[in-house]
Amino acid sequence: MLQTFTPDCLPLLIGSFPMNDHLAASRLIMNYTPAIPLWVQLPIFPEEGMLMQFLPGMPGVVSQGGKFFIDAAAGSFDDDLLLFFEDYMATQEDPDRLPASRFALTETTGKGMAALLAALSRLASQPAAVKGQVTGPVTFCTGVRDQDGRAIFYNETLREAAVKHLALNARWQVRTLSGKGCPVIIFIDEPALAGFGSSELISISKEEILGCLREVVEAIHTDGGLAGIHVCANTDWSLVLESGADIVNFDAYAYFDRFVLYGPQIRKFLESGRFLAWGIVPTLKPEEIERETVDSLYAAMTRRFCQIEALGIAPATLRALSFITPSCGLGSLTLDQANRVLVLTRDLSATVRETFYRL
């Protein structure tokens, strides 16, 4: 798929929106980023939170006092776990079972997907690509807890189940979104990787993280999808660049100075024909959203491009292998702020494409 798709600085969004209407949010996406539409996550609905949206289908899930956890000590857990892995093996052998399986988004958790499919059905021509997203295995496994309040990452059996659950959900998304015949991009959203090396994740090894990421990436590749990894803060970028992902999405607005320190890995990544998604439009601070303009962001983008080109990457190659994105999702913003981010992302992409490709 890498050989058949070139982003050429097209705009790409992350996923979350501060709205309560999936159809209206989908229309907004089709208005601002029609070249690469995506399904929306609306975190105003609890079932569309990063953890909750992908928790159904996991073995041993318990709801208690408005909180959810996995009860691995319950008498029924072993049977639950066995059934989970039987379902996994059967679905691996026959992926046509995916739509009706525990690994797909449900009618409740998949309203954004339904809205996107409806919008795609009305298009006269196919977009350049379509996008979905799945919570990353590290974020999911360090966020979901067991009956003792311990992150399930530290239980190898639960971690294995979670990674396989997320991997098959990502594979279901690729197959579900492939109807238009254009490339399908699935982002693995990994905000927890910002904590790698800190006291919070001090006992988790690089090899463990890479094992989790690679399993989900490989599942996306199985049906021809492009795998992206999104981290909205700083991390050990060698982890992400060496994960096998096709797209690395980083906060180019606030953390470019940290990202560019990984020059040899970035060069190797780009020389393999993979893509950078530049999160150059700020989303973290309202004053930055209001202050920045297309011109100021274009100037910042040009300076950053020059630093990557200095690694030995030809300007035309870098431009061809780049997307323009917000630095993170928009779910925590006001609707006015989100709309401004959409305008800046769309117009910056248009300016970059018009200016760069006239050179």
Output phi, psi for 126, to 5 deg: -75, 145
Average pLDDT for the chain = 94
Q: How far apart are CA 338 and CA 215, in angstroms?
A: 33
pLDDT the model gives residue 150: 95
Domain-located, residue 128: yes
DSSP per residue, 178-223: GGGSS-EEEEEE-GGGGGTTSGGGTT--HHHHHHHHHHHHHHHHHT
Helix H or strand E segment including 93: helix 77-93
Lowest mean pLDDT across 42-56, 147-161, 323-337, 343-357 = 343-357
pLDDT at residue 173 tops 50: yes
Q: What average pLDDT score do residues 329-346 get?
A: 97
pLDDT at residue 359 tops 50: no
Lowest mean pLDDT across 36-40, 93-97, 353-357 = 353-357
* Number of separate domains in the chain: 1
Q: Residues 259, 260, 266, 271: is their CA dihedral positive or negative? A: positive
User: What is the per-residue pLDDT across 286-328, written as a single tens digit (0 to 9) for each?
Assistant: 999 999 999 999 999 999 999 999 999 999 999 999 999 999 9
Q: Residues 25, 179, 244, 298: is their CA dihedral positive or negative? A: negative
pLDDT the model gives residue 100: 97
pLDDT the model gives residue 2: 54
pLDDT the model gives residue 306: 96
pLDDT the model gives residue 1: 52
Q: What average pLDDT score do residues 27-46 get?
A: 96
pLDDT the model gives residue 3: 53
Q: At 319, is the secondary structure helix, strand, or coil?
A: helix
Domain-located, residue 14: yes
Domain-located, residue 142: yes
Domain-located, residue 272: yes
**In CATH, what number is assigned to the domain containing residue 273?**
3.20.20.210
200 — pLDDT class (breaks 50, 70, 90) = low
Q: What average pLDDT score do residues 234-259 get?
A: 96
Return the half-sphere exposure (C-beta side, CA atoms, 13 A cut-off) of residue 244: 15
Q: How far apart are CA 29 and CA 326, in angstroms?
A: 13
Domain-located, residue 118: yes
pLDDT the model gives residue 66: 82
Lowest mean pLDDT across 2-6, 96-100, 355-359 = 355-359
Contact 32, 342 (CB under 8 A): yes
Contact 172, 104 (CB under 8 A): yes
pLDDT at residue 71 tops 90: yes
Domain-located, residue 113: yes
pLDDT at residue 355 tops 60: yes
- Domain limits for position 178: 2-54+107-356
Pick the more confident residue, 202 or 171.
171
What is the per-residue burial (b if ≥16 Cβ within 10 Å, else e) of 54-79?
bbbbbbbeeeeeeebbbbbeeeebee
pLDDT at residue 116 tops 90: yes
pLDDT the model gives residue 98: 98
Q: What average pLDDT score do residues 266-291 get?
A: 97
Q: What average pLDDT score do residues 204-211 get?
A: 93
Domain-located, residue 69: no
Q: What average pLDDT score do residues 269-284 get?
A: 97
Q: How far apart are CA 351 and CA 302, in angstroms?
A: 11
Q: What average pLDDT score do residues 64-70 get?
A: 90
Domain-located, residue 205: yes
Q: How far apart are CA 302 and CA 25, in angstroms?
A: 31
pLDDT the model gives residue 8: 96
| Look-up of token digits 């992409």 | 349
Helix axes 22-32, 111-121, angle to 10 degrees: 50
User: What is the per-residue pLDDT across 253-271, written as a single tens digit (0 to 9) for each?
Assistant: 999 999 999 999 999 999 9
The torsion defined by the Cα of 319, 345, 283 and 20, in degrees rounded to 10, comes to: -130
